[in-house]
Structure formats: C-alpha cells, structure tokens
A and B are shown apart, each in its own frame.
Chain A
Amino acid sequence: MSGPEPILSIKDLKLHFPVRGRGFGATRWLKAVDGVSFDVFPSETLGIVGESGSGKSTVGRAVLQLLKPTAGRVVWLGENIAGFSRAKMKPYRRQMQIVFQDPLASLNPRMTAGDIIAEPLDTFEPNLSAGDRKKRVQEIMDKVGLLPQMINRYPHEFSGGQNQRIGIARAMILKPKLIVADEPVSSLDVSIRAQIINLLADLQAEMGVALIFISHDLAVVRHVSHRVLVLYLGKVMELAESSVLLSKPRHPYTQALLSAAPVPDPEIERGKKRILLEGDLPSPLNPPSGCVFRTRCPIAQAICAKEVPALEPRGGASDHVVACHFPS
C-alpha cells in the first residue's frame, strides 16, 4: 500500500501494567503490548488476530487512548496523540469510535435505543434541534437495519444481534474516520454473525470508514480485512495482505493458526494434517527470552532464545513483514 497517507500510524507501542507481588516482592510488569507498529489507511480494514493474552484488545483501546501507552507513538493524521488527557482527546473522539464485544453489557440498560445512539450527537452537536436529532438517529437506525419505530425501546427488548446493531449505529452516527471493532461478532450466533459482518462491509463501502477489526477467529478476520496483523504475547508476528497471509503465511505461528482453524468441509478436515502447537500460551508476566513464540515453535533453534527477531520483509514483498529468524 503506497500512495495514500495513513490516517493512523502506531509506532513501537508499549503497554506495561504493574502487577504487585506478595509481601515485599518487587512489582512485576505485565507486558500486554510490547513494541507494536502498524499503519491504518483510509477506508481499509486492518484485521488484528490473536489468542487470549495476545494484547489485541489492549492495542485497540490504546489507539483511542482509553488506555494510556507506556511508550510509543500513536499518530493520528500526522499528530502524536499518545498520552493525551480526556479533555485533550475530546475533539479526536468524533473521528474515532469503538464497538465492543458484548453488545448488551456495553449499552446503558436505562437508556432507550434512541438515546444511546444519539449520545455522541449530544456530546458533539449539543445545539441540534430535537427534530433534527431524531431524524439523524432514525437515518442511522435504518442504515444499520433497525426499524426506526424501535427508537423508544430499551436494550433488554432487543436480541444480541440487534444490540450489536445499536452499538454500531452509535459508533457510526458522527461519521467517524476510524472504528475499532473489538470482537464485534464473537458473542453472536453463526447466522446473526454473518448479518453483522455483511453490515460492517456495507457501511464501510458506503461511508468510507476505516476499520480495525479485532478477533480471535482467523476465518472471520480474513474475510473482513484487507490486511491482517497477527499478534502473539504482545508482539507482531506477521503482517500481510489478507489473501497473501492465507496463501503464503511465513511465520510458523501464522501457519499453526491457519491449520488449527476447523474448516467446514468434511473432506478437507479428514485429510488435514494439523500443525499442533504444544502446550498453552506462556504467561505474559514471564515471557520467553528472544522470540516469544519459541517455546511452542516447531522450528525453534538456539538463536531464537537469544535474539528477538525484527519485524521485516525478510526477502519477501515489502508489505509482507514477518518477525522470525527462519521464515518459510
């Protein structure tokens, strides 16, 4: 992707959380995100995939300064907003919004759907007349596939899929430039999940919003994203265009993730040789030295324990970067 300037540029982002030890034990640091860099271009979907503890949600929250980075830069349209206070962040919030995983928990149960969706309007366009406000809300409700007459209902009267539509409407109403969608479909049933995935794709095509789509499900991420970033224990393992990542994964972790995802086709599944990783993710409190993936890596060698591999093209296409000493 050359040509257009990125709207968002993350440089060497770090988020370390203090974890107090027992008694006089020294405070330990949980490195949830440890040196992550990526760009997001206008109107593109960047997928972030990772297992639990990979730091994918923390990255999403750090983009919006809902969590303050320990180090690194978050450059929004040329300006570093890392560490901005709430007050200083306010004008930027118009341009970037977030959609959460659990639709019901992220909506105030005592507010009507209409008031929830209008909340960003009340904050940023307080002088809007009541009629215009209602019109804007009904417009966006129609766009996300909610019946405008449902405007006075409360979240508990909606299903999970409909509540997620409310969350998306709230994020979309100010026509932001970027939406961070943090596992937006993970709590939904398969048939409803497809509706929401299609909805996000339609809205992006229509409104030109950029998306950061965070999920543990590689198939979903691949489907919605133009480019995919693979995270493991707070570090980027691989970043490539999504079709390339699928057809030519170069990092052994990406390869294992791809082979682990069950494919809904009996012939493929029966004939498949899975690359099985041993054990579970190591604790982010005590990550392995060198390459963080080496303890589960099928091709790890001595150097992997000593040196952290840099995220580089390593002989491949310039937009396909991989952090591995022995990429395939």
Chain B
Amino acid sequence: MTPILSVKDMSVRFSTPEGPVSAVSGVSFDVAKGECVGIVGESGSGKSQTFMSVMGLLATNGKATGSAKFKGEELVGMKIDKLNKIRGSKMTMIFQDPMTSLTPHLKISRQLTEVLVLHKGMSERDARAKALQMLERVKIPDAKRRLDEYPHEFSGGMRQRVMIAMALICEPELLIADEPSTALDVTVQAQILELMQELRAQGDMSIVMITHDLGVVAGLCNRVMVMYAGEFCETGHVDQIFHDPQHPYTRGLVGSIPRLDRPGEERLTAIRGQPPNLQHLPKGCTFQERCDFVFDRCIAERPKLTGFAEGRGKACHLKGFDAKHEVIR
C-alpha cells in the first residue's frame, strides 16, 4: 500500500546574512495510513522545518530539496494552485500558538466555513451546519452560540480547539500537529491531548505529532522518530524508544526528564554541552561533542540512519547498548 506521505532525501537550507544554514539534511521517512508518528527533537533540530517544507510553508529565505510525495504526488516544486487543493483539505496542519493563528476580525463561523466553500464547493448554509458539527466534535460547549463569536472571546484552549476543528473540517487524510499543546496550561494541555487521542481512535486519519515533550508522544503515538541537528538519529516503535533507546542522544533525552512516576531523588542524566551550530556542522557525527562514547570513526564519518532490528533504525556507529545499559562497541 502506498504510504500517505513519503519523504525521500529531503534537505532544507536557509540563506541568512551570516551564510547558509542547513536546517534539515537529507531525511527520508514514510507515514502510513492510520498511523500516528511522533517527531521528537529540541529547538533547532529541524522537526518543524521538515513539515513546513512538506506543506510548502517555508519562509522565503528557505529552500527545500529532495522529494515529498503525498499519496504518490510530488509536493516539492508543485504549483501553488495545485498545492492549495491538497493542503488545507487533504493534508492540514495545526500550530503551536492558537492566539496568532486565527484572524481576529472574522467570526469563528466565517473562518470555519471558508475552507468548506473553497475546497468542497458547499453552500454557506451547509457549511455552517458542518462547522457547528465540528465545533461539537472538538467539544466546544454551547457551540451554536460560540459560532458567531470572535477569536478574542475564546480562551487559549478553546482557540486551539477551533484550530483543530478547522484542520479537521475537510476530513483530511493527514493531520500535522506542531506542538499543539505547548503554549497551553497543564490542565488545558491534558484536555487537548485527550481530544487528539479520541480523534486518533475515531478514524483512519494519519497524524504527525511534532513535539519536544517525550511525555506527549508516549501515550499518543505508535512510532517515534527522534531528530537531532537536522537528521533522524533514532526511529522505532514508541515502547522501544522509551524502554530500550539505542542512540546515546535518545538515552540522554529519556534520562533528562524529571518523572512523576519515579519518586526517588535520582539525579537527572543531563547531556553535556549544547547542540551544534547548524552553520558549521562537523564532518562526522553531529552528536560527537556531547557523546560519552565517541570514538575515531564518529569524528571521521557521519553515521547514516540504518535499520538494526524490525522497524528500528539509528544513526550511530556504536553497536548498541545491552539490557544492563552497558555500551556494546
């Protein structure tokens, strides 16, 4: 079966006054129908830019190369008219900041029905009925009245629900969620995550969840891809990534999080140093300066993402780590 999204060797470069910056360097992956993939990485890892390129939303100084196919159709370099038929309808994206993603002077109803009239050629009346139905689906209380309110009358959590309703209204096959709960308070974040979980269970829509928070992907995704300095360093099933991480960066990331389920006073295993400058990436492994297990080959040669077990891949020259967390060279 063809995947919903198939990305091959995609790179993203930005030209800046200080010289070119390579935000994403040659990533390849597929998203299958009905799958929920988590993309985890810290700021600057390229997780958002990968999907901004897929959506054709890169900033003007950015350029994507490589290939990104949506159900077999090439998106990179696609004419804008054609792209507009796909994005916003079959493939939609929600963003981190619900405060700035809605047009302040238009009623919610107008913002919701616009896509339907545009993409589906619906009548205003039908579109309004559908908009109401969507607001109810994302659990906005008193939806009928709220349909005719303006964005400023909604709280942050409610606005993110409106954004999700807007993304879902054309029944997309792929939903890309870029940190949808990060700007929200903890208790409101829990509501949005619960909603995402329900949406996932309801149909065969594919979801890509972009986040820096490993806790967010834990309950929601089946597959996780960890990004570092513009490349995938480890990919695998969510349980494997959390319980048996094989890349030193993933291991460090999992150990860096204070956990509520482990009440001991254990020390966090912080990763030393900081991510590399994307303008001057080293020749070898991008993680070499922070890695406790670095050896000659890591400095000489950049490891490629390679499969090492069923459904798993890592970009690391080490053989791996055994069950006792000892390194195997």
Contact = CB atoms under 8 A, between A and B. Distances in A.
A264 to B, nearest CB: 4
Contacts of B254: 264
Contacts of B158: 280
A86 interface: no
A195 B218 contact: no
B99 to A, nearest CB: 12
Interface string A238-280: 0000010011000000001111111111111110101011011
Contact of A189 (B43, B186, B238): B43
B267 A276 contact: no
A272 B185 contact: no
B153 interface: no
B261 A190 contact: no
Interface stretch (B107-115, B129-137, B169-177, B189-197): B189-197
Interface stretch (A34-42, A75-83, A214-222): A214-222
A193 interface: yes
B279 interface: no
A280 B156 contact: yes
B260 interface: yes
B187 interface: yes
B104 to A, nearest CB: 19
Contact of B258 (A223, A265, A277, A281): A223
For chain B, give the interface size range: 35 or more
A274 B216 CA distance: 13
Contact of A246 (B188, B215, B260, B275): B260
Contact of A266 (B219, B259, B290): B219
A320 B254 CA distance: 32
Given A194-B256, A264-B259, A276 B191 contact: yes
Contact of A195 (B43, B219, B263, B270): B270
Interface string B237-264: 0110010000000001111111111010
Q: Which of B252, B271, B274 has its CB near the most chain A CB atoms (within 10 A)?
A: B274
Contact of B219 (A220, A222, A272): A272
B35 to A, nearest CB: 15
Contacts of A266: 218-219, 238-239, 242
A145 B43 CA distance: 22
A121 B214 CA distance: 41
B276 to A, nearest CB: 11
A191 B42 contact: yes
A268 B262 CA distance: 12
A289 to B, nearest CB: 21
Contacts of B194: 274, 276
Given A216-B185, A219-B259, A280-B185, A259 B190 contact: yes
Contacts of A201: 267
B186 to A, nearest CB: 5
Contacts of A274: 190, 194
A192 interface: yes
A190 B47 CA distance: 15
Given A191-B253, A191-B271, A260 B260 contact: no
Given A190-B256, A194-B270, A222-B260, A264 B218 contact: yes
Nearest to A52: B185
A276 B197 CA distance: 14
A218 B261 CA distance: 12
B298 to A, nearest CB: 18
A85 interface: no
B212 interface: yes
A261 B258 CA distance: 11
Interface string B127-154: 0000000000000010000000000000
A269 B263 CA distance: 17
Interface in A195-241: 195, 197-198, 201, 216-220, 222-224
Contacts of B186: 51, 216-218, 257, 260-261
B269 interface: yes
Given A190-B42, A246-B263, A267-B239, A198 B270 contact: yes
Contacts of B252: 191
B78 interface: no
13 contacts: A161-B274, A190-B212, A190-B253, A191-B270, A192-B270, A197-B268, A222-B260, A261-B260, A262-B219, A265-B218, A265-B261, A269-B215, A279-B141
Given A191-B252, A194-B257, A266-B242, 20 more contacts: A51-B186, A190-B253, A190-B256, A190-B257, A198-B267, A218-B186, A219-B259, A243-B263, A257-B187, A264-B214, A264-B254, A265-B259, A266-B239, A268-B218, A272-B219, A274-B190, A279-B141, A280-B158, A280-B185, A280-B188
Interface of A: 51-52, 159, 161-162, 189-195, 197-198, 201, 216-220, 222-224, 243, 246-247, 256-270, 272, 274, 276-277, 279-281, 296
Interface of B: 42-43, 141, 155-158, 185-191, 193-194, 212-216, 218-220, 238-239, 242, 252-261, 263, 267-272, 274-275, 290
